Chains A and B, each alone.
Chain A
Amino acid sequence: DIQMTQSPSSLSASVGDRVTITCRASQFISSYLNWYQQKPGKAPKLLIYAASSLQSGVPSRFSGSGSGTDFTFTISSLQPEDFATYYCQQSYSTPRTFGQGTKVEIK
């Protein structure tokens, strides 16, 4: 199985801050990397697919980059509704695997 490691596991930030989360795959996954947002009691929501493609309807303050094994997810200006847990997920091979999540909390 491909292991996905996110860092940090949690962070505290203020509204307007730039937030960056990294995700590392245990082996090469090309650009088969997706990012999801999950709020408490809700299903995950797709934000970024193919490492850097913005899902339809998702605000442009969310972005992703990277390829191979190292990936970055960025929120350019954190908004109140962005406080949530974020997961990366590889879709290069089965079994599909997720990172452990990064909880973004209010400072």
Chain B
Amino acid sequence: QVQLQESGPGLVKPSETLSLTCTVSGGSINSYYWNWIRQPPGKGLEWIGYIHYSGSTNYNPSLKSRVTISVDTSKNQFSLTLNSVTAADTAVFYCARVPSGSYSQFDTWGQGTLVTVSS
């Protein structure tokens, strides 16, 4: 059974870059869309964007100018970078999988990692 695990710093300073990695285990990164979703403390869910294993990407326009998602198929990992962070970017960040040819549902999620933006 495939599992996803987020990793990266839990604390980032304002104006700096947030970087997270999601490691896919128990299955291949091929033939899926790989997503990042975030949830500010006590609030709802916001989709950040996805990358296809082939490398094509799609980002939320609200974050597009600051976001990059990349994939490393040799390591079965994909990554998120978010530039110029502010306190408003403090959130639990989840990685999630979408099967190709599906209704684009997020069928598998990582456990999430809290990133706090603070000096």
Contact in complex: B47, A43 (CB < 8 Å):
no
Most buried by A among B61, B94, B103, B109: B103
Residues of B close to A36: CB separation below 8 A: 106
Q: Quick check: B104 and A44 within 8 Å, CB to CB? A: no
B110, CB-defined interface residue at 8 Å:
yes
Instruction: Contact check, B47 vs A45: say whether CB atoms are below 8 A apart.
Output: no
Chain B nearest Cβ from A16, distance in angstroms = 29
A94 part of interface (Cβ distance < 8 Å): yes
Interface segment among A18-26, A74-82, A97-105: the answer is A97-105
Interface membership of A72, Cβ < 8 A: no
- Tell whether, in the assembled complex, residue A34 and residue B105 are in contact, meaning their CB atoms are under 8 Å apart: yes
CA A97 to CA B106, docked complex, whole Å: 12
In the complex, which of the residues B47, B58, B103, B105 contacts A97, with contact meaning CB atoms closer than 8 Å?
B47
0/1 interface trace, chain A 36-47, chain B, CB 8 Å (1 if under): 100000111110
Q: How far is the CA of A96 from the CA of B107 in the complex (A)?
A: 14
Q: A79 to B44, alpha carbons, bound, how many Å?
A: 24
For B35, B106, B110, which residue has the most chain A Cβ atoms within 10 angstroms? Answer: B106
Is the contact region of chain A dominated by helix, strand, or loop, or is it mixed? loop
Q: Is the CB of A43 within 8 A of B60?
A: no
What is the number of residues of chain A that contact chain B, defined by CB distance less than 8 Å?
25
Tell me if B74 counts as interface (CB < 8 A to partner A).
no
Query: A83 within 8 Å of B by Cβ?
Result: no
Please report the C-alpha to C-alpha distance between residue A31 and residue B46 in the assembled complex, in whole angstroms. Answer: 21
Residue among B44, B61, B105, B106 with max Cβ neighbours from chain A (10 Å): B105
CB distance from A66 to the nearest CB of B (A): 14
Chain B residues with a Cβ under 8 A of chain A: 35, 44-47, 58, 60-62, 94, 98, 102-107, 109-112
Q: List 14 A-B contacts (CB under 8 A).
A: A31-B103, A32-B103, A34-B105, A43-B109, A44-B94, A44-B109, A49-B105, A55-B105, A91-B105, A95-B62, A96-B47, A97-B47, A98-B45, A99-B44
Additional 6 contacts, C-beta under 8 A, given A34-B105, A42-B111, A98-B47: A43-B112, A46-B105, A91-B105, A94-B47, A95-B62, A100-B44
